[in-house]
Amino acid sequence: MSSSLNHAFIPVVILMLFATKLNIKPKYILFLSIFAVLPDIDMLIVHRATFHNIFTLLIPLLGYVIINRQIFGIISFFILSHLILDIYSGGIHLFYPISNKVLYAWTEIRYGEPNVFNYGFSTDTLEIIKHGESIISSENVAVMLLLLMIISLIILKPDNRNKMNSGE
Ligand SMILES: [Zn+2]
C-alpha cells in the first residue's frame, strides 16, 4: 500500500539524485512535490478514478511542451510516479471516465511461499485499499529515521562535503 509519504518521498529522492544531470533546481523539486500527493484528493469524489487516470497527465504535458519544460516536467513526473505506485498497490481507473476498468499489478516475491505475479484489468480496485490508505506507514517512520541520520551526518560534518567536492 502506498502511503502519502511514499508518494512524495520516492519521486523527490529520485529527482534530487539526478537534479544536476537533469539541470533542474532542487527548490522546484521540493515546492512542486505537492503534485506527487495531489491525485489523492479524488478521495472526496471517485477515489483512484477522477485524478488517477491517463488524462490527468494531459495538462502538465501540454504545459511541458508550451510553457515551461522544467516546472511542468517535474509536475508530470510527480503525477506519473503517483499513478505507477498506485497501479502496484491496488490499481487505478486508468481510462476514467471513458472506461471504469482498473489496471492493477500485484507482484510479491516472498520467503518460503509462492511468488505472486498478477497483472491485468479488473472491475474494481483490489481489496487492499478498501480499508483506507495510510498517510504515514510504520515502514515510513523507519525510512525517515534513516534519512534523518544521514541528513544529521551531513549537517554536522559540512567539511565532508567540501572534501568530496574538491576530490572530483
Ligand atoms: Zn493515489
Distance CA 144, CA 160 (A): 22
* Rounded distance from Cα 133 to ligand 1 centre (Å): 9
List pLDDT tens digits, range 152-166.
887 787 665 566 566
Distance of CA 139 from the midpoint of ligand 1 (Å) = 18
Report the separation in Å between the CA atom of 67 and the middle of ligand 1, taken as the mean of its atom positions. Answer: 26
How far is ligand 1, taken at its centre, from the CA of residue 37, in Å? 7
pLDDT in tens, 91-141: 999 999 999 999 999 888 888 888 888 899 999 888 766 666 777 888 888
pTM: 0.82
Residue 83 has pLDDT above 70, yes or no: yes
pLDDT digits (tens, 9 = 90+) for 84-99: 999 988 899 999 999 9
The rounded Å distance from CA 158 to ligand 1 centre is 37
Q: Residue 8 C-alpha to ligand 1 middle, in angstroms? A: 11
Instruction: Kindly report whether the peptide bond that precedes residue 11 is cis, defined as omega within 30 degrees of 0.
Output: no
